[in-house]
Chain A
Amino acid sequence: QSALTQPASVSGSPGQSITISCTGTSGDIGGSNYVSWYQQHPGKAPKLMIYDVSNRPSGVSNRFSGSKSGNTASLTISGLQAEDEADYYCSSYARSTLWVFGTGTTVTVL
C-alpha cells in the first residue's frame, strides 16, 4: 500500500492560516471517513490532532480543523503560533488496506 501524498513543507507567519493537503485514492481516503492527523515535534512521539476527518480530541486547540473532499483530506491551522512548528502526518483507515500514513509535512513558522 503506497503512502498518502503530502507536501514536504508548508510555512506561514505567526497569526496566518495554513493548509496541509493529503492526497490518496478512492481505495483509501476517497472511500473512508476514518482520516486522522498527527503532530510530531522533533524527538517526540506523534500526537493525535484530528480523527474522523474533522473531530478534535479533548485538549486539542480549536485552531486545528480538518476536512475532506474526494480523495484529498486537509488540515488547516489558523492563527499560526511558534509552537505549531512540527511535522504533520495524515492517516487513513480502510478495511481493505488497514492503516496508511502520509509522507509527512514540515510546518515552519516564519
Chain B
Amino acid sequence: EVQLVESGGGLIQPGGSLRLSCAASGFSISTNYMNWVRQAPGKGLEWVSVIYSGGTTYYADSVKGRFTISRDNSQNTVYLQMNSLRAEDTAFYYCARGGSSFSFDCWGQGTLVTVSS
C-alpha cells in the first residue's frame, strides 16, 4: 500500500526553525518527484516545494530562501527544513507524491506547524 506519513510539526516561536519529515512506504521516492503543500487553518491549498528524482528543487516565492527540501533515498524519506519561520507559515503541511502529468496522486495526513510567541 502506498503511504506517506508526516511528522515534526509543533509550536515554534517566530524566527525559529523546524524540520518536517515525510516517510514513504509502498514505493520509492527516488523515482518520483515529491512535494510539500500547505494549508493554513480554514484556508486553501498552497504549493510549497518540489524535489525531482534528479535532485532539482523548486520553491514557492513565499518560502524561497527560508525553506529547503531534501530527501534520503536510503530512508525513503523526504524532509522540509524551515528556517526564519513567520506567523504566516502557520499551516498544516502535507507531503504529496507527484503523479501523472504534474498532479499529486498520494497525500499524507499532514502535520500542523504553529508559529506563535
Does A93 touch B at the CB level, under 8 Å?
yes
Interface residues on A, range: 20 to 34
Nearest chain B residue, comparing its CB with the CB of A36: B103
Given contacts A45-B110, A98-B58, contact A36 B104 (CB under 8 A): yes
Q: Given the complex of chains A and B, what is the CA–CA distance between A51 and B97 in angstroms? A: 14
Interface residues on B, range: 20 to 34
CB pair B45–A101 under 8 Å, yes or no, is yes
Count A-B pairs with CB separation below 8 Å. Answer: 68
In the bound assembly, the distance between CA atoms of A109 and B70 in angstroms comes to: 42
Task: Say whether B45 contacts A104, CB under 8 Å.
Answer: yes
| Besides the known contacts A45-B108, A45-B110, A91-B47, 19 further A-B residue pairs in the complex with CB atoms under 8 A apart | A1-B61, A3-B44, A34-B103, A36-B101, A45-B107, A46-B45, A46-B104, A46-B107, A48-B103, A51-B101, A55-B100, A57-B105, A89-B44, A93-B102, A98-B47, A98-B58, A99-B50, A101-B37, A101-B46
The residues of A with any CB-CB pair to B shorter than 8 Å are 1, 3, 33-34, 36, 38, 45-48, 51-52, 55, 57, 89, 91, 93, 98-104
